[in-house]
Structures are given as structure tokens and as C-alpha cells.
Structure 1
Amino acid sequence: MPPETSIADAGTQPLPAASYTGGAGPDAEARRRRERAAQRRRAQAEAKRSRAAQRVRQPPRPPARAAAEHRSSLLIMVMTLGLLIAAVAVTGGLVAASRRTQPVTLTAPLHVYPVTQSAPGQCPAGTPGITGQASTGPVCYRLSQGIAIHKVSDLRVQRSKGTGYDVAVTLRPVDRRAFADLTRATVGRDLAFVVRERLVTLPRVDMAILDGKVVVTGPPDRAAADRLVRELKGR
């Protein structure tokens, strides 16, 4: 007779472990990922709340204080702008002054001679003089010992006090004493301004010039004054 079997025993036998995890494993892993993500979000939210709580909220400024600060800012801006404008003006003035004070180098030396006498006609050969052109024709101007000027502090055209133009020459300190001695000895007489053996102008000395500021009057118009400046420079 075959051995008896028990149905109840067969139904209560435990299943293999694989039969418990084969269908539930992926769902559990997904739940764990969702839980970790939710935890991270909660931690981030908590950190934001903590930082917001740590901030100190600045109380609003009173209107009077805000207005005073605004006026103070405007005043500082105006003062800064004023200082900048003043600095630019001073810098421009210094640049212009430096340009004016730069010496003017003459292309050829300017010789200044006292005129001892004059006579109509050309100067004879060997005569210590120079021939100039007057309204009546050539004139011989006899000259005595003079000075030579190679540079001047300034040389320009300016409007005369009356009508017409003047040519203003400012001598350097190195030439002022010699020119002062020359004009002191020739008051009421003529000085011959000679460049390259050519008589450029023949001004009369009204007074001794001690400060080195020479004003040659007489050019009738601006063109004649500009031409005189070029001739004095040796151009």
C-alpha cells in the first residue's frame, strides 16, 4: 500500500524566498527614492526659513531723515562737480600759461642798433650803416654799436589803444638789461631793427624800456602787423 500523504501539510509549506521579493522590490525602491527626495525638499525649505529668520529687517527711515540724506548727497555731488570744473580750469590755465611762457626762437638774430644820423641815398661802401626805404626814396642810416637777440619770451600782434595794431615784443631776462641800457641812451632817437642785413622797422624811443616789454606802434592794419611779426622772426 502506498504511503499516505497529508494535503494540509503540503499547503502550509513555506514558499521560496524569491517568491516574496520578485514583485514587491522595485516598488519599495521607488518609495525610498521619493521619501529621500521629500526629505531633501523639507531640509531645503527649513534652511530657507532659518536664513529668513536670521535676517534683521531694517526699520524704515523717517521722512525727515531721508530728505536730509538726499540733500546731503546732492550737496556732495555739487561740490564734487565744482571741484572738477575748477581743476579743469586751473589745468587749462596752466597749460595756456606754459605755452605763453615758452621762448620764441627767432629764425635769424634780431639786431638792434642806435641810429646816429641819416642821409638821403644809398649808404656808401664801407659805411657803418644800412639803407632803408622812405617815402622820398632810399635813406642811409648810420648805426652805432647795438645788441643781438636770438630768442624772445613773446612776440605777438595786439590791438592798439587808438586805431590800428601794435606788435608787442617781450624780451627774456638775459636781454633786458642790455636793452634797458640801449634805450636809456637813445631816448628821443631811432632804433634800427635789422634782420639778415635788412632794415625791418625804425621805431623812435619815447622812454627807457626797463622791463623788457617793447611795443612797436604804427602798422595800419592786421596784415601789416602780421607781416612785421614774420619779419622780426626772420621768416
Structure 2
Amino acid sequence: MRVVPRRSRNRRRDEATAPSPSPSVPPGAPESAEPAPGGSPSDPPPAQGANTPPAKSEIGAPADPAGTKTGGPPEAETGKPADSADAQAREDADATTRATEEFPAVTPRVPVPASPAETEAARRRARSAERRRATAEVKRSRAGLRRNRPHRTPPTPARAAEQHRSAMLVMVLTLGLLIAAVAVTGALIASSMRTQPVTLAAPLHVYPVTQTSPGQCPAGTQGISGQSATGPTCYRMAQGIAIREVADLRVQRSRVQPGGYDVALTLRPSDRKAFADLTRATVGRDLAFVVRNRIITLPRVDMAILDGKVVVTGPPDRASANRLVRELKGR
């Protein structure tokens, strides 16, 4: 019967300090020629049963941890059978094999220089990976913006009607402002066209009338013959002014006679002072408007005209007023 002792934590240390055991010879087996530890090859092994007591194996007896006993067979020194040494050797060999399998020897790899084609392919792969990362980042940012964007709920019918009314009001106001702007612009254009200077075909002479007598004017007298309600009349005149261009000359509704028409004549600033002096001196008398030595009209001066705006009243209809305008222009 053989008993294999249990492995202890200090077994490797004990084995390192203990002498190498040799296989023991069981009783009745032939003796081997191997020398015992500490002896010489020429020394014969001790005889069984002479003076050496036979080796004993105690069950459960602890082995000498120090391994200081010398002499005698290894079984007597260590208290272990010979087969336990063989098992220990096999276990050590198995442990070495497992360690080799678990941690194989690493052979250092010698770096091989890459070819230009491989280098360019690696660069292309790196650029492609960078573009994919950038695209993924852009997609993530857009998705985050969409998630953070407030959700728009559809307006209620009342809200939609209010918005429609507001839009219509804004459109109407805009259209009104546009129409007003067009009207103001048109008025300004028309006013500027009306205020453009009117060049007369023949000079318009304005004379204060000093005396009237029936019939034709005698030769050599300062007067012009004209037609009045009583027949031919001679109009004697004083020194007057000549107008060759006016600021405005047009027909307008009469302010005195309902349904009648007036002729409005606006003088230029250069002629206003002379005309103001002339009318100031002839208040309550007539002024003769003469074109080509022919009396066109004889209006009475009610008050001095200082602003150069002359209104000739009397034409009964628009046709007569238009004819008067043409005669004043010398056409």
C-alpha cells in the first residue's frame, strides 16, 4: 500500500532545499547498482536486516520539511515513497508544458517597409474614414436641430380667420397707400406741366386806357380802334408793358358767375413787378390787352395785382374762353 502525501504550499521550497531522492528498492527486488546519495559508487549498499532496520512508512506522518537527515535510503529520510518523486517530476513537466502552451514564445517581427501603392491606399482609406466621420457628425447635428425645433401646431379656425382678416387689412392699406402715392405723383407731374413757361406767338401788350371816344381813331393819334356794344370806339392808351412769355395760361371754372368760365394768366417773376406798378396806377380803370395791334380784351382793374396772377372774367361758355386763350397766345 502506497500513500501519496498532499501538496503543501512550501513543497516547492522544500524540494529546492531537499536532496534529490532516488528510487527506493522494495523488499525482495534485486539491488541496483546506483549509488546512494552521499556515498561512492564502490560502496556496496547495506544488507537488508543486518544492522539497519527496515524502512518504515507511517500513514499520516509528516515529512521532514528541512530535509537535514542524511544517510540511509531516501525513503527513510523524507518519509515519502519513491513513486511520489516520479509523480512530482511528471507534474513539474506538465506545468512547464502548460506554461509554454499558455505563454508561447514571441518572435519579434521585423517591420517591412510599405510600398508606395500601399501607402496611397492607406491614405485614401484614412481620407474616406474622415469624410464618413464628418458626414455622420453633420447628420447628428441636423438631427439635434430637428429635435430642438419647436413643434408647430396647426392654428385653430378662429385663429386662421383672424390671420386672414389681418392679411386682408394689410393688403388694403398697402393698396390705398399705393393709390395715394400714384395720385400725388400725378398731381405733382400735372402741376409741374402747368407751371411750365408758355411762349406766346406774338408779344402781349398791356396798356392802361386813358380815354374812349366813339368812331375810328384819327390818324396820328395814340389809340387803337375797337368794337364796343355801341359800335366802333377809339381807345386812347398810355405807356404799357410787353409780355413775351407767361408762366401759365389756361381756362378754369368761374368763381363769380355760376356756370361761367374764367381765363387765368400767371406772369413770370420778371414781369410781376412791372405789372404790379401798372395795376396800382390804374385801379378802377380798364386795361387793354393788345396782340398784333388788335384789342383782345378790356378787363377792369378792381385792385392792384401784386402776385402776377390775373383772372379775366366774362366768357359765357368754354368755347369763348378757349378762343380767348388762343388770341392771347397770338395764334
Calculate the TM-score normalised by the size of structure 2: 0.50
Match of 1:220 among 307, 310, 316: 316
| RMSD (CA atoms) | 2.6
Residue 245 of structure 2 aligns to which amino acid in structure 1? Answer: K
Instruction: Give 1:149's aligned residue.
Output: 243
Match of 1:162 among 240, 245, 257: 257
Structure 2: gaps of 5 or more residues: 1-138
Relative to structure 1, the CA distance from residue 67 to residue 167 in structure 2 (aligned partners, 3 Å threshold; closer, same or farther) is closer
Residue 246 of structure 2 aligns to which amino acid in structure 1? Answer: V
Structure 2 residue matching 1:112: 3-state secondary structure: strand
Relative to structure 1, the CA distance from residue 62 to residue 189 in structure 2 (aligned partners, 3 Å threshold; closer, same or farther) is closer
Relative to structure 1, the CA distance from residue 66 to residue 144 in structure 2 (aligned partners, 3 Å threshold; closer, same or farther) is same
Report the CA distance between 1:232 and its aligned residue: 0.7
Instruction: Give 2:290's aligned residue.
Output: 194
Structure 2 residue matching 1:140: 3-state secondary structure: strand
Q: How does 1:106-125 map to 2 (within 5 A)?
A: 106-125=200-219
Residue 294 of structure 2 aligns to which amino acid in structure 1? Answer: R
Q: How does 1:125-136 map to 2 (within 5 A)?
A: 125-136=219-230
Instruction: Give 1:184's aligned residue.
Output: 280
Structure 2 residue matching 1:180: 3-state secondary structure: helix
Q: What is the alpha-carbon distance in structure 1 between the residues aligned to residue 320 and residue 222 of structure 2?
A: 29
Report the CA distance between 1:197 and its aligned residue: 0.8
Q: What is the alpha-carbon distance in structure 2 between the residues aligned to residue 216 and residue 80 of structure 1?
A: 44
Deviations 1:153-175 (A, max 9, x none): 22222232224322221222221
Report the CA distance between 1:204 and its aligned residue: 1.4
Structure 1: gaps of 5 or more residues: 1-49
Q: What is the alpha-carbon distance in structure 1 between the residues aligned to residue 243 and residue 277 of structure 2?
A: 14
Deviations 1:67-108 (A, max 9, x none): 665455444433432332222122111111111211222111
Deviations 1:29-84 (A, max 9, x none): xxxxxxxxxxxxxxxxxxxxx9xx96948543443765665455444433432332
Q: What is the alpha-carbon distance in structure 1 between the residues aligned to residue 146 and residue 234 of structure 2?
A: 101
Instruction: Give 2:192's aligned residue.
Output: 98
Structure 1 residue matching 2:295: 3-state secondary structure: strand
Structure 2 residue matching 1:204: 3-state secondary structure: coil
Deviations 1:177-198 (A, max 9, x none): 1111000001111111000111
Q: How does 1:25-36 map to 2 (within 5 A)?
A: none
Greater mean deviation of Cα atoms: 151-160 or 191-200: 151-160
Instruction: Give 1:60's aligned residue.
Output: 153
Q: What is the alpha-carbon distance in structure 1 between the residues aligned to residue 306 and residue 326 of structure 2?
A: 25
Report the CA distance between 1:131 and its aligned residue: 0.9
Choose between structure 1 and 2: higher helix proportion: 1
**Larger CA Rg, structure 1 vs 2:** 2
Percent identical among aligned pairs is: 76
Aligned residues: 184
Match of 2:270 among 174, 180, 198: 174
Relative to structure 1, the CA distance from residue 221 to residue 93 in structure 2 (aligned partners, 3 Å threshold; closer, same or farther) is closer
Q: What is the alpha-carbon distance in structure 2 between the residues aligned to residue 199 and residue 140 of structure 1?
A: 11
Q: What is the alpha-carbon distance in structure 2 between the residues aligned to residue 76 and residue 136 of structure 1?
A: 69
Deviations 1:3-28 (A, max 9, x none): xxxxxxxxxxxxxxxxxxxxxxxxxx
- Superposed structure 1 runs of 4+ greater than 4 Å apart: 53-59, 64-72
Calculate the TM-score normalised by the size of structure 1: 0.69
Residue 257 of structure 2 aligns to which amino acid in structure 1? Answer: G
Residue 101 of structure 1 aligns to which amino acid in structure 2? Answer: T
